[in-house]
Structure 1
Amino acid sequence: MPKRALIERRPWLLASMACALAWLLLQGGQTPGLYLMVLRGGALVLLAIYAALRHRGSDTRSLAGMLVLEGLGAGLLETMPLIALNLLLVGYLVGLGLFLAHRRPVMDADRRAAALALTLGTPLLCFFAADRAGVGVPLFLGLALGGMAAAAWISTFARSRVGLGAALIGAGNVLGIAALGALAGAPAPILSLAAWPLFYIGNLVLATGVTGELRMRDDFT
Structure 2
Amino acid sequence: MADQSRFSTCLLAASLAAGVSYLFAVQAQMAGPEITAWKGMGVGLLAIYAALRAKGRDGWMLAGILAFGAAGDVVLDIAFTAGAALFAIGHILAITLYRRHIRPNLSDTDRMIGALLIGVPVGIAWALTQKAEVALYTLLLASMASAAWVSRFPVKLTALGAVLFIISDLLIFARMGPLSGSLIASLLVWTLYSGGQFLIALGGTRYLAAHRNA
Residue 167 of structure 2: aligned partner: 171
* 1:17-32 paired onto structure 2 within 5 Å: 17-29=16-28, 31-32=30-31
Residue 36 of structure 2: aligned partner: 37
2:191 counterpart of 1:197: yes
Instruction: Flag the 1:143–1:89 CA change in 2: closer, same or farther, 3 A.
Output: same
Q: Note the aligned Cα RMSD (angstroms).
A: 2.1
2:199 counterpart of 1:211: no
Q: Deviation digits for residues 150-184 of structure 1, max 9, x if unmatched?
A: 000000112111111111111111112333x3x32
Check the 8 A contact 2:122/2:135 in 1, yes or no. Answer: no
Residue 105 of structure 2: aligned partner: 106
Q: Distance in 2 between matches of 1:13 and 1:44?
A: 10
Q: How far off is 1:185 after superposition?
A: 4.4
Instruction: Flag the 1:28–1:204 CA change in 2: closer, same or farther, 3 A.
Output: closer
* 1:147-186 paired onto structure 2 within 5 Å: 147-179=143-175, 181=176, 183-186=177-180
Instruction: Flag the 1:39–1:128 CA change in 2: closer, same or farther, 3 A.
Output: farther
Instruction: Flag the 1:75–1:117 CA change in 2: closer, same or farther, 3 A.
Output: same
The one-letter code sitting in structure 2 at the alignment partner of 1:162 is T
Instruction: Flag the 1:136–1:80 CA change in 2: closer, same or farther, 3 A.
Output: farther
Residue 5 of structure 1: aligned partner: 5
Instruction: Flag the 1:46–1:143 CA change in 2: closer, same or farther, 3 A.
Output: same
Check the 8 A contact 2:91/2:140 in 1, yes or no. Answer: yes
Q: Give secondary structure in 2 for the equivalent of 1:187.
A: coil
Check the 8 A contact 2:11/2:45 in 1, yes or no. Answer: yes
Structure 1 window deviating more from structure 2 (74-83 vs 26-35): it is: 26-35
The one-letter code sitting in structure 1 at the alignment partner of 2:173 is I
Q: Distance in 1 between matches of 2:49 and 2:128?
A: 32
TM-score scaled to structure 1, two decimals? Answer: 0.87
Q: How far off is 1:31 after superposition?
A: 4.3
Check the 8 A contact 1:122/1:146 in 2, yes or no. Answer: yes
* 1:123-138 paired onto structure 2 within 5 Å: 123-131=122-130, 137-138=133-134
The one-letter code sitting in structure 2 at the alignment partner of 1:89 is A
The one-letter code sitting in structure 2 at the alignment partner of 1:200 is S
The one-letter code sitting in structure 2 at the alignment partner of 1:38 is A
Q: Distance in 2 between matches of 1:30 and 1:95?
A: 31
TM-score scaled to structure 2, two decimals? Answer: 0.90
Percent identity for Structure 1 against Structure 2: 28
Q: How far off is 1:217 after superposition?
A: 1.6
Q: Give secondary structure in 1 for the equivalent of 2:153.
A: coil
The one-letter code sitting in structure 1 at the alignment partner of 2:212 is D
Instruction: Flag the 1:83–1:136 CA change in 2: closer, same or farther, 3 A.
Output: farther
Gaps of 5+ in 2: none
Residue 72 of structure 1: aligned partner: 71
Q: Distance in 2 between matches of 1:107 and 1:211?
A: 23
Q: How far off is 1:188 after superposition?
A: 4.4
Check the 8 A contact 2:164/2:195 in 1, yes or no. Answer: yes
Q: Distance in 2 between matches of 1:118 and 1:32?
A: 34
Q: Deviation digits for residues 132-161 of structure 1, max 9, x if unmatched?
A: xxx784553111111100000000112111
